[in-house]
């Protein structure tokens, strides 16, 4: 029985679900308390112990079905007339699943599984003698389905390429699978940045005793300092305004930056996002609670963004200058992301200077490699004097630095 | 000590408290008691996450201790605080006694030493202001601890919580380690505002509650609003379920469905019609734009 469990867990892992050893042991423990014969209970016992993200539930459902379902049904009604029909199923299931996992290679996960199997056996022995154990044993011994699905060749794993993620060049077309991994990495990055920041808030709240005000207040209570007043360190919350070029190749980087902005939003008193190709478009409201990918898809389909137009920085900046200059203030951090390729249009850099005068910080992020700046129609050096910082931003490492810079301002 | 004898037992007890659920909810609840593990409940707002803890406390007649999380929640609000004002007040009132105590002291350092011996009088449980977590630990009889909306707290608080949840003891420097006499049943809820850490998830059993099926929701409505006509209840639920599939800003929760059903009963509405809808939709939907959209486009 423990072997079955371990195989199941291994299959889950291969499907990309993270299951720890402790969780496997919880599942084994859970099964000692619940009857295997009741399918929904059996299933939920495994699910509650093994699955900790609701996004993993569909995977679990599918695998559970393949692993246990058919056989358990069979066990419940051994002499039913449908038995034959059901017996046909497992084979179909096996054949119908040429197993996405099969084509993956690697060794590490397997060894881990072996260790676990040993660990589990210990557990099992302990459990022996329990009444239900025999029942479980019997049930599970009947289960043949899914033997072939056992992961002879586990997935190379998410971890190995994790390490290099920071250096992946974002300024290129990425395979879809990787994009998701990178989104996840950006999420983690944002979380770590936000934590550091919230520690600052934390300290600010727990400041030292404000002797002067405490004593002042103590006059009311006969010079006894009944109410201690703490000094509060003041931390300004800035307003973030993002102006993001989304034309052509820049888009690849822009979406990761937008993801970062979305994740960090809570750190600002207000965060507004504008996208532009040749006109600006406020998309602040589009970034609500929905999954980021969904939002991105919606933006891509938005005709008003003129996704495939020629980018015109001058015109976009002028429009921002004309319509939104008033909304900028000394607490605003303005972040512009773009390659500064104007397609030979007028760059109108003076508009940027006006913006600089009215904001706390102007930060320009250029996703192009630095050696290409100012070649052809790139006018980076015309815009650069009107920014406080100009940074190259084309991998997660640089994105992280950008995040730090934005939060520090 | 185990609270439930079987999963079926959980379903029955919950049903008696008016919480209708199947094995998908009852199994993790049963297991959290058996395995002595916290239960992390996730799901969209208004599907009855908090209700699980409340029902649990009612059906076992255990006290419910609730810790509402928010950004900036820290240990002094969640665990304990010294009651500084009370300490000071007592010192004031006991001034004479303290004076008497120190009478024999000739030097200042001797006085300090004498006073030091009374240290425990000032830092005793009398002056400790227990907050929910400590309250749950100190309670002599088992309680249900609800840590609501844990995703709203900061990361640091989450790590602190991990520590408390793993062995249910806290160290107070002045008093030593306090251990719980009974292991409380812990329910954590989250609306997924923020991704909770892997470590916290690992230590909990996990339950994801989605909106109920139409059939189950009808049962809930009939239970909570017994005067409603079965046909109307069916209509109501079908309508609500339809709205949830539309991309509205704030999908109606179960409690809003119930409120709406109650409202319809009070208004004596025989069936859903446009007039009934326009006058009562604000009970179900709380977003102006959503209401306008539903009224404009209708629900097919």
Q: Note the pLDDT tens digit of each residue in A301-330.
A: 777 777 777 888 888 899 999 998 888 888
How far is Cα B273 from Cα B259, in angstroms, rounded to an integer? 18
**Strand pairing class (B169-172; B176-179):** antiparallel
Chain B interface includes A223 (CB < 8 A): no
Structure confidence at residue A207 (pLDDT): 62
pLDDT of residue A107: 40
A209 shares contact with chain B (CB less than 8 Å): no
Residue A110 has pLDDT above 60, yes or no: no
Answer whether A33 sits within 8 Å of B30, measured CB to CB.
yes
Q: Which residue of B has its CA nearest to A203?
A: B72
DSSP-assigned letter for residue B48 = S
Residue A396 falls inside a structural domain? yes
Q: What is the mean pLDDT of residues A336-365?
A: 88
Whether A244 is in a domain gets the answer: yes
Contacts of B34 in chain A (CB under 8 A): 30, 33
* Residue A161 banded pLDDT, cuts 50, 70, 90: very low
Check residue B206 and give its pLDDT.
Answer: 93
Whether residue A86 is found in the same domain as residue A199: no
Q: What is the model's pLDDT at position B53?
A: 93
Nearest to A45 among B27, B40, B208 (CB): B27
Q: How far is residue A115's CA from residue A108's CA, in Å, rounded to a whole number?
A: 11
pLDDT at A165: 61
Give chain B's residues under pLDDT 50: none
Across the interface, do B201 and A33 touch by the CB < 8 Å criterion?
Answer: no
Is A293 a domain residue?
yes
Q: What is the mean pLDDT of residues A271-296?
A: 82
Task: Judge whether A223 lies within some domain.
Answer: no
CB-CB contact of B104 with B117 (8 Å)? no
Task: Using pLDDT thresholds of 50, 70 and 90, give the confidence band for residue A153.
Answer: very low
Hunting for tokens 């002879």 — which residue is that? A152
Same domain, A8 and A148: yes
In a domain, A376, yes or no: yes
pLDDT level of residue A251 (50, 70, 90 thresholds): confident
Query: Min CA distance, A32 vs chain B (Å)?
Result: 10
How many beta-carbon pairs under 8 angstroms link A with B?
Answer: 87
Q: For an interface test with B, which of A31, A36, A46, A48 has the most B Cβ atoms less than 10 Å from its Cβ?
A: A48
Cβ contact (<8 Å) for A201 and B72? yes
Residues A186 and A100 in one domain: no
pLDDT in tens, A93-107: 444 444 444 444 444
Interchain contact, B201 vs A52, CB within 8 Å = yes
Q: Is the pLDDT of residue A116 over 70?
A: no
- What are the residues facing B41 on neighbouring strands? B189, B207
Alpha-carbon gap, residue B204 to B165, rounded angstroms: 9
Asked if A366 and A338 count as a contact pair (C-beta separation under 8 A), the reply is: yes
What whole-number distance in Å separates Cα of residue B189 and Cα of residue B192? 9
A267 and chain B in contact, CB less than 8 A: no
What is the pLDDT at residue B159? 84
**Nearest CA distance, B259 vs chain A (angstrom):** 26
Domain ranges of chain B: 7-78+133-208, 81-127, 214-294
C-alpha–C-alpha distance, residues A341 and A378, integer Å: 4
What are B69-123's pLDDT values in tens digits? 987 788 888 888 888 888 888 888 888 787 887 787 888 888 888 878 777 777 7
Q: Give the one of B27, B40, B205 whose C-beta lies nearest to A34's C-beta.
A: B27
Domain for residue A215, yes or no?
no
Q: What's B7-78+133-208's CATH class?
A: alpha beta
ipTM higher than the 0.90 cut: no
Q: How many helices (H) and strands (E) does chain A have?
A: 17, 6
Based on C-alpha coordinates, what's the Rg of chain A? Answer: 29
Is A228 at the interface with chain B, CB within 8 A?
A: yes
Name the 3-class secondary structure at B171.
strand
Single out the residue in A157, A192, A219 at which a domain terminates.
A157
Determine the distance in angstroms separating the CA of A41 from the nearest CA of chain B, rounded to an integer.
6
* Residues of chain B positioned with their CB less than 8 A from the CB of A49: 31, 35, 205
Element (H, E) at A271: strand A270-276
pTM for this entry: 0.61
Do A270 and A383 sit in the same domain of this protein? Answer: yes
Domain boundary among A99, A123, A157: A157
Min Cα–Cα distance to chain B from A23, Å: 7
Q: Which of A205, A206, A208, A163 is nearest to A181 (CA)?
A: A163
Partners of B92 on chain A (C-beta within 8 Å) are 224
Which domain, by its residues, includes A281?
A: 179-206+236-408
Which domain-ending residue is among A123, A157, A191?
A157
SS3 (DSSP) at B250: coil
Number of domains, chain A: 2
Q: What is the pLDDT of residue B62?
A: 93
Query: Based on the domain organization, do A24 and A135 belong to the same domain?
Result: yes
Average pLDDT over residues A76-93: 42
Q: Cβ of B7 under 8 Å from any chain A Cβ?
A: yes
Segments in A265-334 forming alpha helices (H) = 292-301, 313-324
Q: What integer pLDDT is reported at residue A200 of this predicted model?
A: 60
Query: Average pLDDT in the A53-77 region?
Result: 74
What gap in Å lies between CA B205 and CA A27, rounded to an integer? 10
Q: Is A87 inside a domain boundary?
A: yes
CA of B109 vs chain A CAs: smallest distance (Å):
23
Integer Cα distance of B38 and A26 in angstroms: 12
Task: Please indicate whether, in this complex, the C-beta atoms of A54 and B24 are within 8 angstroms of each other.
Answer: no
Residues A98 and A195 in one domain: no
CATH number at residue A357: 3.40.50.410
The answer to whether B209 touches B49, Cβ cutoff 8 Å, is: yes
Tell me: do A153 and A183 sit in the same domain: no
Q: Is A23 an 8 Å CB contact of chain B?
A: yes
Same-domain check for residues A201 and A64: no
Q: Are residues A261 and A403 in the same domain?
A: yes
Whether residue A30 and residue B204 make contact (CB cut-off 8 A), yes or no, is no
User: Do A100 and A196 belong to one domain?
Assistant: no
The mean-pLDDT minimum among A126-130, A233-237, A324-328, B226-230 falls in A126-130
How many residues in chain B? 300
Q: What is the pLDDT, as a whole number, of residue B82?
A: 85
Q: Which of A30, A202, A288 sits opposite B35 (nearest CB)?
A: A30
Q: Do B207 and A40 touch (CB under 8 A)?
A: no
The packing angle between helices A2-14 and A108-127, to 10°, is 150
Q: Is B5 on the interface with A (CB under 8 A)?
A: no
Contacts of B195 in chain A (CB under 8 A): 187, 191
A200 shares a domain with A123: no
Do A126 and A189 belong to one domain?
A: no
Question: Is residue A384 one of the residues assigned to a domain?
Answer: yes
Chain B contact set for A51 (CB, 8 A): 206
Q: Is A297 on the interface with B (CB under 8 A)?
A: no
């Amino acid at each position: 029985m423990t072997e079955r469990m371990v195989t199941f867990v291994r299959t889950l892992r291969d499907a990309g679900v993270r299951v720890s050893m402790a969780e496997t042991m919880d599942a084994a423990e859970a099964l000692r308390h619940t009857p295997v014969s009741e399918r929904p209970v059996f299933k939920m016992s495994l699910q509650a112990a093994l699955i900790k993200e609701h996004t993993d539930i569909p995977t679990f459902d599918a695998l559970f079905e393949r692993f246990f379902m058919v056989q358990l049904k069979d066990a419940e009604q051994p002499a039913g007339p449908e038995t034959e029909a059901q017996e046909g199923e497992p084979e179909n299931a096996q054949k119908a699943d040429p197993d996405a996992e099969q084509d993956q290679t690697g060794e590490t996960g397997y060894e881990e599984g072996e260790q676990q199997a040993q660990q589990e056996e210990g557990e099992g022995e302990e459990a022996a003698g329990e009444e239900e154990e025999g029942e479980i044993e019997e049930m599970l011994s009947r289960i043949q389905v899914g033997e072939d699905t056992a992961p002879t060749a586990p997935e190379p794993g998410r971890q190995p390429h994790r390490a290099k993620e920071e250096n992946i060049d974002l300024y290129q077309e990425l395979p879809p699978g990787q994009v998701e991994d990178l989104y996840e990495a950006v999420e983690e990055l944002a979380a770590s940045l936000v934590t550091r920041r919230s520690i600052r808030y934390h300290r600010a709240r727990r400041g030292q005793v404000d002797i002067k005000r405490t004593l002042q207040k103590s006059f009311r209570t006969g010079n006894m300092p009944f109410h201690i007043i703490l000094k509060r360190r003041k931390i300004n919350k800035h307003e973030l305004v993002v102006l993001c070029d989304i034309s052509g190749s820049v888009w690849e980087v822009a979406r990761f930056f937008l993801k970062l902005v979305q994740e960090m939003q809570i750190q600002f008193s207000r965060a507004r996002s504008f996208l532009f190709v040749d006109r600006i478009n406020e998309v602040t409201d589009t970034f609500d609670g929905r999954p980021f990918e969904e939002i991105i898809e919606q933006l891509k389909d938005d005709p008003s963004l003129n996704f495939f137009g020629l980018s015109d920085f001058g015109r976009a900046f002028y429009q921002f200058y004309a319509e939104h200059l008033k909304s900028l203030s000394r607490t605003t951090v303005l972040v512009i992301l773009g390659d500064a390729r104007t397609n030979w249009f007028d760059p109108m850099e003076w508009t940027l200077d006006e913006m600089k005068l009215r904001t706390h910080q102007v930060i320009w992020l250029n996703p192009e490699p630095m050696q290409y700046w100012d070649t052809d129609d790139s006018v980076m050096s015309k815009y650069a004097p009107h920014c406080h910082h100009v940074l190259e931003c084309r991998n997660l490492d640089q994105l992280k630095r950008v995040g730090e810079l934005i939060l520090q301002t | 000590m185990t609270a439930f004898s079987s999963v079926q037992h959980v379903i029955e007890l919950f049903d008696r408290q008016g919480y209708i659920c199947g094995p998908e909810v009852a199994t993790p609840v049963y297991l959290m008691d058996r395995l002595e593990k916290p239960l992390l409940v996730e799901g969209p707002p208004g599907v009855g996450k908090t209700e699980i803890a409340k029902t649990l406390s009612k059906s076992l007649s255990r006290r419910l201790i609730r810790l509402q999380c928010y950004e900036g929640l820290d240990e002094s609000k969640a665990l304990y605080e010294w009651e500084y004002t009370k300490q000071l007040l007592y010192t004031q009132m006991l001034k004479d006694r303290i004076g008497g105590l120190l009478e024999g002291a000739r030097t200042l350092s001797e006085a300090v030493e004498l006073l030091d011996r009374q240290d425990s009088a000032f830092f005793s449980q009398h002056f400790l202001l227990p907050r929910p977590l400590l309250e749950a630990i100190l309670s002599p009889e088992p309680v249900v601890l609800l840590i609501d909306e844990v995703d709203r707290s900061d990361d640091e608080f989450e790590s602190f919580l991990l520590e408390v949840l793993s062995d249910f003891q806290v160290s107070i420097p002045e008093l030593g380690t306090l251990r719980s006499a009974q292991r409380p049943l812990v329910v954590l809820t989250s609306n997924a505002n923020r991704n909770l850490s892997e470590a916290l998830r690992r230590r909990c059993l996990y339950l994801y509650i989605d909106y109920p099926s139409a059939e189950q929701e009808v049962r809930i409505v009939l239970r909570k609003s017994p005067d409603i006509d079965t046909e109307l209840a069916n209509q109501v639920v079908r309508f609500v379920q339809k709205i949830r599939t539309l991309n509205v800003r704030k999908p109606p929760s179960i409690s809003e469905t119930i409120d709406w059903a109650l409202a319809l009963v009070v208004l004596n509405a025989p069936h859903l019609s446009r007039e009934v809808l326009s006058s009562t939709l604000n009970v179900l939907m709380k977003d102006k734009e959503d209401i306008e959209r539903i009224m404009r486009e209708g629900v097919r």
